[in-house]
C-alpha cells in the first residue's frame, strides 16, 4: 500500500499556474512606462492668454516661437537667444519666403520681451506673424 501512494504521487500533475514570470513581465513594463512617460511630453510649458479667435488651419510644418514664463525663447522646442532667433529666421526666410511664424507667449511674460521678439522676427523679414491664444471658456 505504501508503494501505491508513492507511485500515484509521481503520476499526478501539478495543476497550478506559476504567475511569477507574468508578474515579472508586468513590473518591467510598469517601470518602462514610468521612465518613458515624462520623455514623451514635449514642448514648452506656456500659460496662454484667452481670446476669442478661430483655430489655426492645419498646415505642413508650423514655425512656433514660444516665450516661457522665465523669459527663455524657444523655436520649435529649441532654446535660443534673440540674436540666434533672428539669424535662424533669416536663414529660414531665404528658403521659405512666405512662411508664417506663430508666437506663443506666457501671459505673465513682460510685454517688452514679447515685442522685442516680434521686432526681431520683423527685422529678419518675417511679415506674417500670428499670436497663439487659448479659446475663451464659455459660461453656461
Q: Residue 7 sits in which domain range? A: 2-40
Residues 106 and 131 occupy one common structural domain: yes
**61-108 residue pLDDT tens:** 778 888 888 888 888 888 888 888 888 888 888 877 777 888 888 888
Number of domains in the chain: 2
Residues 25 and 54 occupy one common structural domain: no
**3-59 residue pLDDT tens:** 555 555 556 777 777 888 888 999 999 998 888 776 665 555 666 666 666 555 555
Residues 78 and 106 occupy one common structural domain: yes
Give the three cell numbers for residue 4: 501505491
Q: Give the 3-state secondary structure of residue 65.
A: strand
Residues 55 and 114 occupy one common structural domain: yes
The pTM for the full model equals: 0.56
Residues 9 and 59 occupy one common structural domain: no
- Residue 52 CA, chain-centre distance (Å), reads 24
Q: Is 127 contained in some domain?
A: yes
Residues 102 and 131 occupy one common structural domain: yes
Q: Please list, in sequence order, all residues whose beta carbon lies within 8 angstroms of the beta carbon of residue 87, skipping any fewer than 6 positions away.
A: 124
User: Are 75 and 63 contacting, i.e. CB atoms less than 8 angstroms apart?
Assistant: yes
Cα dihedral sign, 116-113-86-121: negative
Burial grade of 16 (CB within 10 A; 0-12, 13-18, 19 or more): exposed
Amino acid at each position: 500500500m505504501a508503494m501505491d501512494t508513492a507511485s500515484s504521487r509521481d503520476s499526478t500533475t501539478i495543476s497550478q499556474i506559476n504567475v511569477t514570470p507574468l508578474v515579472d513581465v508586468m513590473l518591467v513594463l510598469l517601470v518602462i512606462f514610468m521612465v518613458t512617460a515624462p520623455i514623451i511630453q514635449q514642448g514648452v510649458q506656456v500659460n496662454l492668454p484667452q481670446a476669442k479667435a478661430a483655430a489655426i488651419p492645419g498646415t505642413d510644418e508650423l514655425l512656433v516661437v514660444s516665450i516661457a514664463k522665465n523669459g527663455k525663447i524657444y523655436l520649435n522646442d529649441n532654446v535660443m537667444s534673440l540674436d540666434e532667433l533672428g539669424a535662424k529666421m533669416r536663414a529660414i526666410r531665404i528658403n521659405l519666403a512666405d512662411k508664417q511664424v506663430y508666437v506663443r507667449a506666457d501671459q505673465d511674460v513682460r510685454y517688452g520681451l514679447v515685442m522685442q521678439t516680434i521686432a526681431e522676427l520683423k527685422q529678419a523679414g518675417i511679415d506674417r506673424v500670428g499670436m497663439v491664444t487659448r479659446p475663451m471658456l464659455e459660461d453656461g
